[in-house]
Amino acid sequence: MDKVKSRTEHDSLGDREVPSEAYFGIQTLRAVENFPVSGYHEDPVFIKAYGRIKKAACKVNHKLGRIDDERARAIDQAAGEVVEGQFNDQFVVDVFQAGAGTSFHMNVNEVIANRALEILGKERGNYKYVSPNDLVNHGQSTNDTFPTAIHLAVLELWQDLRPILESLAGSFEERGKKFHHILKSGRTHLQDAVPVRLGQEFRAYGQAIKRSIRIMESAANELLELPIGGTAGGTGLNAPEGYQAEVVKELSKITGLEFRAAPDLREAMQSRQGLGAMSAGLRSLSLELIRIANDLRLLTSGPATGLAEIVLPTVQPGSSIMPAKVNPVMAECLNMICFQIIGNDTAMTMAIQAGQLELNVMMPLMVHNLLQSFRMLINYLPVFIEKCVAGITANEKRCNDYMHRSAALGTVLNPQIGYLKTAKLIKEALAKGESIRDLVIEKNILPSEKMDDLLDPIKLTGEK
């Protein structure tokens, strides 16, 4: 076997051999050896976000006279290629790594430095000419770039997720319109309750998703405030005058988002409250999705021995032993995704409170968990809409049968004969297996015309 060609690189700890073809360098190599944890590497959207920061910083440093024309052009091109995803395979540091994300940050700096050297016709590893630390990272620190990159990445995925959530809400509301005419027994405590419309249940699901969108939009607004420019500890040490405002302006231009500079860079280094709010928004959304998925599973249960008020689309056989069995697999999968998101949020909660003094070093965990949660929803919800929600049909006969058999219809008698007399009638109806309407007419308590008026669907459900 041919020996792998290598180049010698030097850092503050000494010399190491780095594969010649690698764009990453010695500090990345040490991190790979130190953290062989999960096998997961950073999400491409986070790599892209970091490339955008390096591109913006390069432009500003060049404008402020800190980087010469030749090297600024090469670094800008290299960072742009990182943004385009051309070097994603070179970001090899595990997501579980050194605190604060220094390992991954140096992975970014080294890839850009070595690609810039290549553009300039120099050998990779010639850091005296293009230094990962002194040039690519000029005026920056892991402390301010890593959280800024998280904000950029999360906001990009939020822009992807939001229209999907709007589509999900719309799909539930469309089912609500389709099912509006169907009366059914409501249920509280999983026991029979006053009637509702099947369409009302589904419209309410759509409204719940819309509320989640509003909650997450509020969290996203907090992430428009960037800690960039704080360098180490929020002091701005080594950043040129005017750097923060110019970088924020450049990032706004690159992304199309209206970023603003953090008013207190100390707080911006210490606290990850904004990320906590977004994670909490994902958790809140997941709780709603779990609740809705569980409702769908209950409503479709059976078909012979359950509620069977709705029918979910058949997407695959449900059993390896029971022929023709069909399961609510799309809702089940959604449940599992949301359980994972809640677990991610629990870990986020621990990480966010674990900051000390001038820095929270648990940011690598935060970005991995947040982006994973976003990715799962972005990947799955369009499929859930198409293969589940949009194809739900109603078992109208079953809904009507349950409603008319429900003793909870007797609630309409409260104003007529009082709560206690109504309760007595309901118990009798249940014991005899009769409908409350028939029993009232049979006992001459009210005439049939009066009962028909009391049981009018509009009066029962509050809608035409």
What is each CA distance from 86 to 44, 77, 112, in whole angstroms? Answer: 10, 12, 11
Structural contact between residues 122 and 214, judged by C-beta atoms closer than 8 angstroms: no
Point out the catalytic residue in the list 20, 38, 218, 319.
Answer: 319
Structural contact between residues 6 and 17, judged by C-beta atoms closer than 8 angstroms: yes
Rama region for 250: left / alpha / beta (φ>0; ψ in -120 to 50; rest): alpha
DSSP codes of every residue in 71-114 = HHHHHHHHHHHHHTTTTGGG---BSS-SGGGHHHHHHHHHHHHH
d(CA 280, CA 285): 8
* R_g of the chain computed on alpha carbons: 30
d(CA 51, CA 455): 65
Decide if 301 is catalytic. no
DSSP code, position 349: H
Residue/partner pairs of 11-15 with CB below 8 Å, 24 or more apart = none
User: Dihedral angle at the C-alpha atoms of 175, 177, 181, 183, nearest 10 degrees?
Assistant: 50
Identity of the amino acid at 243? Y
Side-chain-facing half-sphere of 18: CA atoms under 13 Å:
28
What is each CA distance from 279 to 266, 315, 375, 386, 451, in whole angstroms? Answer: 22, 32, 13, 26, 51
Residues sharing a CB contact under 8 Å with residue 450, sequence separation 6 or more, in sequence order: none
Annotated catalytic residues are 319
